């Protein structure tokens, strides 16, 4: 629950504007999504590892935050290995499973790609405070304040939903209906949670309106969201990782544009 954890963090990267982190992640991800080759992903991943050293995370934290990625990447690769497009020599052919030269290469590329795209996003966003992100989205990217602040206030209510969910579970046990019908009970609880959240939401909207939210006046911002040289450096690092990865793939002759002619 990265975004719900409002703990203050220290470190070089933690102080950087979240918008820059968003842009850097996007710049790294974009070319890797557009090509399917081992070289670009491997180069990007290697360069990212240098970036991670400055992210202000302890090793323990790094593994704690990124473990789902380490599970998802090999699983995705395995699927491609067994069912991916067949080419070259076939090593295993059983029912719909075919492991070939082609599927091995694709699986390796996929494994590295998932890591190279997901790890920097996770690592950069661990240090993002939702309030700072909202400030950045509204002040730097000039997204509508009404939308950004509404989402921010709504996000804060997710914690209350977790408490509600627990209470709903206990109440069903107390009412004598928790022994059977798990699916039906789940649907009922989901509906009850929806009703509760709509009620809470409308009360929150009233409280926000009473504090002048949505007034005709131009809104000011109590916290300045700055986009200075640190931010440009991070965006530059993202662009550089991208450029080096693409250049390496083109130089090695493995660049494989998924939208291009085959």
Partner 1 sequence: MPSVGSHPGTPAGIEIRGWGWRHASRKAWALADVDLVIDPGERVLLLGASGSGKSTLLHGIAGVLGGDEEGEATGTLLVGGAPPTSARGRVGLVLQDPDSQVILARVGDDVAFGCENLGVPRDEIWPRVGEALDAVGLDVPLDRPTKALSGGQKQRLALAGALAMRPGALLLDEPTANLDPDGVADVRDAVGRVLDATGATLVVVEHHVDVWLPLVTRVVVIAGGRVVADGAPDVVLGAHGAALAAEGVWVPGIAPAVPGPPRIAPGEVLLEAAGLAVSRVRGESVASGLTLDVRAGEALAVTGPNGAGKSTLGLTLAGLLRPAGGTVAASAALADGAASAPIAWTSKQLLTRIGTVFQEPEHQLLTRSVREELEVGPRALGLPQAQTHARVDELLERLRLSALARANPYTLSGGEKRRLTVAAALATAPRVLVLDEPTFGQDARTWAELVALLARLRDDGNALVVITHDARVVSALHARTFALTGARS
Residues making contact with partner 1 (CB under 8 A):
6, 8, 129-131, 152-153, 156, 159-160, 164, 166-168, 170-179, 188, 192, 195-196, 199-200, 203-204, 206-224
End-to-end CA distance of the chain: 41
Cα–Cα nearest to 126, from 16, 241, 230:
16
Cα–Cα nearest to 21, from 56, 71, 60:
56
Q: What is the DSSP string of 123-134?
A: HHHHT--HHHHH
Of the CA atoms within 13 Å of residue 242, those in its CB half-sphere come to 20
Q: Tell the smallest beta-carbon distance from residue 178 to partner 1 (Å).
A: 4
- Coil, helix or strand for 224? coil
Q: Which is nearer to partner 1, 225 or 242 (CB)?
A: 225
Six-digit token string for 34: 């557009």
Cα–Cα nearest to 45, from 101, 127, 110:
110
Name every residue whose Cβ is closer than 8 Å to that of residue 41 and which is 6 or more positions away in sequence: 32, 109, 112, 113, 115, 116, 245
Q: Which is nearer to partner 1, 96 or 210 (CB)?
A: 210
Q: Tell the smallest beta-carbon distance from residue 188 to partner 1 (Å).
A: 7
Q: Which is nearer to partner 1, 88 or 212 (CB)?
A: 212
Q: Tell the smallest beta-carbon distance from residue 206 to partner 1 (Å).
A: 5
Q: Tell the smallest beta-carbon distance from residue 261 to partner 1 (Å).
A: 50
Name every residue whose Cβ is closer than 8 Å to that of residue 34 and which is 6 or more positions away in sequence: 257, 258, 259
Cβ-based burial of 56 (10 A; exposed 0-12, middle 13-18, buried ≥19):
middle
Q: Tell the smallest beta-carbon distance from residue 227 to partner 1 (Å).
A: 17
Cα–Cα nearest to 43, from 103, 112, 114, 102:
112
Q: Which is nearer to partner 1, 174 or 183 (CB)?
A: 174
Six-digit token string for 99: 């492991």
Q: Tell the smallest beta-carbon distance from residue 191 to partner 1 (Å).
A: 10
Q: Which is nearer to partner 1, 15 or 173 (CB)?
A: 173
Q: Tell the smallest beta-carbon distance from residue 135 to partner 1 (Å).
A: 9
Q: Which is nearer to partner 1, 76 or 131 (CB)?
A: 131
Q: Which is nearer to partner 1, 74 or 130 (CB)?
A: 130
């Amino acid at each position: 629950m990265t975004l719900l954890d409002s703990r203050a963090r220290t470190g070089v990267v933690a102080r950087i504007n979240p918008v820059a982190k968003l842009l850097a992640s996007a710049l790294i991800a974009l070319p890797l999504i557009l090509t399917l080759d081992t070289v670009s992903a491997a180069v990007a991943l290697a360069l990212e590892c240098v970036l991670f050293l400055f992210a202000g995370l302890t090793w323990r934290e790094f593994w704690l935050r990124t473990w789902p990625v380490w599970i998802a990447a090999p699983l995705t690769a395995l699927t491609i290995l067994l069912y991916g497009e067949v080419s070259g020599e076939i090593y295993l052919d059983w029912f719909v499973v075919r492991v070939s030269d082609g599927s091995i290469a694709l699986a390796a590329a996929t494994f590295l790609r998932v890591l190279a795209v997901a790890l920097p996003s996770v690592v950069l966003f661990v240090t993002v405070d939702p309030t700072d992100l909202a400030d950045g989205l509204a002040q730097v990217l000039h997204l509508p304040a009404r939308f950004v602040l509404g989402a921010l206030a709504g996000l804060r209510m997710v914690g209350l939903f977790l408490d509600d969910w627990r209470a709903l579970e206990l109440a069903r046990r107390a009412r004598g209906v928790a022994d059977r019908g798990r699916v039906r009970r789940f649907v009922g609880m989901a509906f009850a949670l929806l009703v509760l959240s709509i009620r809470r939401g409308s009360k929150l909207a009233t409280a926000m309106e009473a504090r002048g939210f949505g007034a005709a006046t131009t809104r000011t911002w109590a916290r300045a969201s700055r986009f200075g040289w640190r931010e440009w450096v991070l965006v530059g690092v993202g662009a550089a990782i991208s450029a080096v990865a693409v250049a390496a793939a083109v130089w090695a002759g493995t660049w494989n544009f998924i939208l291009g002619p085959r």
